[in-house]
Amino acid sequence: MRALKLLALGLIISLQAAAQTGVASGTRYGVGEDSVRCVRNLSLYTEDFRNRNFKEAFPAWEAVFNECPAASVNIYIDGVTMIKQQIAANRDAAKFEELYQLLMKVYDQRMVHFGDHQRTPTPAIKGSKAVDMLQYKRDDNQVIREAYELLNDAVTGLGRRSQPAFLLTFMNTSVNMYRMGNLDAETLVKNYTLVSDVIDFQLKDPGHSRFHDTLEEVKGGVEGLFASSGAASCQIIEQIYGPQLEENKFDLAWLKRVNQLLARGLCEDTDLLYKVSEYQHNIEPSSASAYGLARMYLKTRDIPRTIEFYNEAIRLAENDTQKGEYLYQLSMIYLTQDNYVASRTHALRAIEARPNWGAPFLLIGRAYAAAANNVGADDFEKKAVYWAAVDKFMRAKSVDPSVTDEANEQIRIYSAHFPALDEIFFRNMQQGQTYTVGGWINERTTVRAK
């Protein structure tokens, strides 16, 4: 009996001596009593977490996280949820920093122990870490720089499997880095191209169909961020993509991307735009390629071909903003050709596409003023045309305050051409009376003296 007691005591002592945590032993649960404690804490926290008793679950979770970090990938998934819940409920700055550092440690430790996970590999963990870094410290420049590196690794590592949140956040962070002076314009353009290519692929991929609405929103966000960055200068775009043109002249996706960049930057007089547009139009006619060809023919003063391709660009326009811009430019071309009727027609269509845009109203006013000598039977009727012209300038600034200064200058110039007060009385008219301007203008206006 004594021998059995000594044997049992020896076994306990040996177990205690052999006990090691998972961290110390490099095993999943640890060894000996530490293994038992790990499994017990894992079970305890999991049960409480499942019932959303996060406060009760946290101590046991923390023990597992610190002592047997390789026990389960769920430690890290659940840990993020509980820590974020504590951050949201806590207003103490010191406690916030403590929890924030713990959250970062969760991501770092997950990369060490589960970085080779098939569904969530290291690049995906880096992306999630960066998103959370920016959620809590978006105004910290050092955090922005660190998050940018993580997101760069995430998007380049995941490629077409990148999550929409990573893509949008990467673009936003790239723009912030550019504005901080930590990223050059060429790299920002390359990042935009990478992100856009991934989004375009996912939008066409049946496997991502359930995320289509989200991807469309992300695409719009990425486009808006890039457009507001100011980085896409014509010089930068040509510098990056010019040398790549010949090897990509049959790559429709590449041609579309470059054409969109050039069109957005209004790089209207670049050889790259002409060549890209021609190659793209040969493969698949689009609004952007037609616009590029229109600008090319305008440069060579081939007006009929210019108008032809502008009309095609308008027909193929992807949105009202783009359509309105093309209509406005075509209206200006007609004005330079003294085709005032066509100029007004296309300016009105531009207004229809973009009702709060003042520039087309200014253009119609200029067309009326330019046509004044060709409208009406006598000098008075010709001067009356300026009433209609000034009406358009006034309408321009009423719908679009950004053109106020220009509109006021046009009003000042052309109000001087109004009929004199005695001319108005000679016609048995009074100021404020309604008057219809004749000819192709055929518009009601108000009698005014200069």
Q: What is the mean pLDDT of each run of 10 residues along the chain (450 residues)?
A: 40 42 58 77 93 94 92 94 94 93 96 91 96 95 96 95 95 95 90 90 90 90 84 82 91 84 75 87 87 88 94 93 95 97 97 96 97 91 96 97 96 96 93 94 95
What is the DSSP secondary structure assignment for residue 377, as one 8-state letter?
A: S
Helix (H) or strand (E) holding 444: strand 443-446
For the record, the structure tokens of 447 come out as 């009698």
Contact residues for 240 (Cβ-Cβ < 8 A; gap 6+):
186, 189, 190
Contact (Cβ atoms closer than 8 angstroms) between residue 273 and residue 259: yes
Dihedral (Cα; 79, 81, 84, 86), 10-degree rounding: -80
Q: What is the pLDDT at residue 4?
A: 41
Contact (Cβ atoms closer than 8 angstroms) between residue 103 and residue 84: yes
For the record, the structure tokens of 81 come out as 């949820």
* Angstrom distance (rounded) from CA 273 to CA 281: 12
Q: What is the pLDDT at residue 25?
A: 56
Contact (Cβ atoms closer than 8 angstroms) between residue 341 and residue 311: no
Q: What is the pLDDT at residue 13?
A: 34
What is the DSSP secondary structure assignment for residue 434, as one 8-state letter?
A: E
Q: What is the pLDDT at residue 1?
A: 44
| Dihedrals phi, psi of 96, to nearest 5 degrees | -60, -45
* Angstrom distance (rounded) from CA 261 to CA 322: 13
For the record, the structure tokens of 337 come out as 């050709």
